[in-house]
Amino acid sequence: MAAILVVGEQAHGHLKKATLSALTAAQQMAKQSGGQVQGVLVGSGIGTSAQELASYGITVHAVDAAPFEHAVAETHAAAIAAAAKAAGASDVVMAATAYGKDVAPRVAVKLQAGVASDVLAIAGEGGKVLFKRAMWAGNAISTVEVTTQVRVVTVRATEFAAAQKGASAGEIQKLDVQAPQAKTKFLEFNEVKSARPELTEARVVVSGGRGTKGDFKPIEQLADALGAAVGASRAVVDAGWQPNDLQVGQTGKVVAPQLYIAAGISGAIQHLAGMKGSKTIVAINKDAEAPIFQVADYGLVGDLFKALPELADAVKKLQ
Amino acid sequence: MKILTTVKRVEDYESKIKVRPDQTWIVTEGVNYRANPFDEIAVEEALRLRDANMPSEVVVVSVGPAAAATEIRSGLAMGADRGILVKHDAFVDSDGVARLLQKVIEQEKPDLVLMGKQAVDVDDNVAGQLVAEYLGWGQATFASKKESLESPEEKAKKPGLKLSADKKSVQAAREVDGGLEVLEVQLPAIVTVDLRLNVPRYASLPNIMKAKKKPIQELTPQGLSVDVTPKVKVLKVEPPPARTAGIKVPDVATLVQKLHAEAKVI
């Protein structure tokens, strides 16, 4: 039975949440193809995380050695490809995180595989696994077939629920891999310390546009009341009111939270492309004709400087 | 040093993207085209590195139809020195693009290859990494910079990538989940660039005129002996699930009630 190999991701001794979404995608693929899900985890001192992954009822190949401490694409791709060969994998599945995007293509070359990236859903017919993915920033959804014998897939974590723990834990198999001489050296990691969740992972996002006139206090206060991430439209970033990494849109970050609140954002195509996958969209804008209302589930025509503080108060009362 | 950058011809992100009725692709008639915005950042970075390390050369490469010469010209108008077009009319998947670039890179032997992290048409985000593995080179994906785009460093048009004094390696700050990671990669290397690396310049009129005289060499997949049959076949293209406009609520109290009781999101 061919294996469907999920690549785990860990930091500070904990498995990342996105891995559990990748596991769900792998389980769905296994249902289609009849393969067996296994896992691989690469790093140094990753015993606890490997056990955590195995607790989902899958065999986990652990490549646990000092040269793999940092997630350098060259070395990690070599370890993952070795595990895929050891497991006889037909598919390698990763979450489309920075790690997954960095490493997966290199794994694919080693396995002579095609890559389906940032997959939104598993489709298929008659035992053939197909993938749905967004193109043109979500303005079109394609169904793709990876025609190679082995397939490499990265999946958008927000589109797959977290896997459930298995009835019994799987076993951990240590795998020795000779680390290749990497041409890349890890120097440092500068963690962005923010009390707020990360934009692409947040359950709730509150974004501000030109209507804020650069004053993001009401946005931030509502975000903190909701435990939400803060986003911004391109106009705001171009004006220099907010840093670039907050930009939601086709050329910025693509988000798909449970709740997206757009305040003072008119709704340019560029912006809509980055957030219209959100489950529930709220638009607050003075201009009743703003295009953002065409995609909003709930629209409120009004002044954000009045509405947002009211909303923040109401949210606090609910909690 | 020699720096090679890639520029893909893509649909303008301000254009309305519509799916063709036969669901094979999108409607391309009446759509504006432009250089992939991430690639423009790559070209800008290449120009800054060149100007700080003369004598150097910046070569702009595109894989695409004859019309992609327009996007190469836009790179030349920004200041790049010459262009290479690998001409192919049909769809080439990222793996095909990567193997074509591998051949071009083996011919050109650049010290550094700069690419946009993804093209905003197929949104794959894999070509740069594939090229790096095919060549056996080191990579730094999603290059950004520690300083903001409002910083004096950016205003002074300083490169965000730091070349070592002996020009044998480059340091890149990568935008990863939860922070910035700094890597040092031996040259030759592949760097894919993210939005925060720099603000690309506009081409000036004299430079647009000059660009018209700069050479563009034409190559073909056949000439490079690369089979571009896709490994990833696009079987169908559909419009995204339509979002129907919801309701307007009269006040915040109603909004809160709806979000709580109906949408159950707060």
Distance, in angstroms, between B33 CA and closest chain A CA?
Answer: 13
Which pLDDT value is given to residue A195? 81
| Mean residue pLDDT across chain A | 94
State the pLDDT confidence band at A138, using cuts at 50, 70 and 90: confident
Which pLDDT value is given to residue A1? 72
Interface contacts A/B by beta carbons within 8 Å: 265
State the pLDDT confidence band at A319, using cuts at 50, 70 and 90: confident
Choose among A22, A108, A4: nearest CA to A59. A4
Which pLDDT value is given to residue A200? 82
Is the pLDDT reported for residue A244 higher than 90? no
Q: Which of B184, B252, B265 sits opposite A307 (nearest CB)?
A: B252
Q: Give the pLDDT confidence of A41-100 residue by residue, as tens digits.
A: 999 999 999 999 999 999 999 999 999 999 999 999 999 999 999 999 999 999 999 999
Range of the domain at B102: 2-262
**CATH code, residues A204-318:** 3.40.50.1220
**What residues of chain B lie within 8 A of the CB of A19, using their CB?**
none
Q: Residues near A216 by Cβ (< 8 Å), separated by ≥ 6? A: A208, A230, A232, A241, A242
Between B80 and A252, whose confidence is greater? B80
Sequence spans of domains, chain A: 3-174, 204-318
Is the pLDDT reported for residue A252 higher than 90? no
Is 3.40.50.620 the CATH number for A3-174?
Answer: yes
Question: Do A106 and A73 contact (CB within 8 A), yes or no?
Answer: yes
Question: Do A239 and A213 contact (CB within 8 A), yes or no?
Answer: no
Q: What is the ipTM metric for this complex?
A: 0.94
Does an H or E element contain A122, and which?
strand A114-125
Are residues B123 and A143, on separate chains, in Cβ contact within 8 Å?
no
Which pLDDT value is given to residue B90? 94
**What residues of chain A lie within 8 A of the CB of B240, using their CB?**
134, 138-141, 276-277
Q: Give the pLDDT confidence of A297-306 residue by residue, as tens digits.
A: 999 999 999 9
Which pLDDT value is given to residue A245? 80
Q: Which of B121, B182, B265 sits opposite A188 (nearest CB)?
A: B182
Chain B CB within 8 Å of residue A304 CB:
no
State the pLDDT confidence band at A273, using cuts at 50, 70 and 90: confident
Distance, in angstroms, between A158 CA and closest chain B CA?
Answer: 14
Which residue on chain A is closest to B10 by alpha carbon? A136
Choose among A148, A131, A132, A130: nearest CA to A140. A132
Alpha-carbon distances, residue B10 vs A136, A247, A296 (angstroms): 9, 21, 28
Question: What's the structural domain count of chain B?
Answer: 1
Instruction: Output the domain CATH number for residue B212.
Output: 3.40.50.620
- For chain A positions 245-284, those within 8 Å of chain B (CB to CB) are 245, 247, 250-252, 258-259, 268-270, 273, 276-277, 279-282
Which pLDDT value is given to residue B113? 98
**What residues of chain A lie within 8 A of the CB of B174, using their CB?**
98
- Distance, CA of B168 to CA of A236 (rounded, Å): 39
Q: CA B152, B153, B156, B160: dihedral to nearest 10 degrees?
A: -160
- Strand-pairing partners, residue B11, are B33
Portion of chain A with pLDDT greater than 70, in percent: 100
Question: Do B82 and B76 contact (CB within 8 A), yes or no?
Answer: yes
- Distance, CA of B97 to CA of B161 (rounded, Å): 25
Q: Give the pLDDT confidence of A177-231 residue by residue, as tens digits.
A: 999 999 999 999 998 777 888 888 889 999 999 999 999 999 999 999 999 999 9
Which residue on chain A is closest to B260 by alpha carbon? A318
Segments of chain B scoring below 50 in pLDDT: none
Look at strands A229-232 and A204-208 and give their pairing: parallel
Mutate one of B101, B112, B113, B139 to test the A interface: name it (highest A CB count within 10 A): B139
Q: Residues near A188 by Cβ (< 8 Å), separated by ≥ 6? A: B181, B182
3-state secondary structure chain B: CEEEEECCEEECCCCCCCECCCCCCECCCCCCEEECHHHHHHHHHHHHHHHHCCCCEEEEEEEECHHHHHHHHHHHHHCCCEEEEEECCCCCCHHHHHHHHHHHHHHHCCCEEEEECCCCCCCCCCHHHHHHHHHCCEEEEEEECCCCCCCHHHHCCCCCCEECCCCCEEEEEEEECCEEEEEEEECCEEEEECHHHCCCCCCCHHHHHHHCCCCEEEECCCCCCCCCCCCEEEEEEECCCCCCCCEECCCHHHHHHHHHHHCCCC
- For chain A positions 150-179, those within 8 Å of chain B (CB to CB) are none
- Distance, CA of B201 to CA of A77 (rounded, Å): 36
Using the structure block, give the residue that is written with the tokens 């709730």.
A204
State the pLDDT confidence band at A288, using cuts at 50, 70 and 90: very high
**What residues of chain A lie within 8 A of the CB of B126, using their CB?**
101, 104-105, 108, 115, 117
Which pLDDT value is given to residue A250? 78
State the pLDDT confidence band at A253, using cuts at 50, 70 and 90: confident
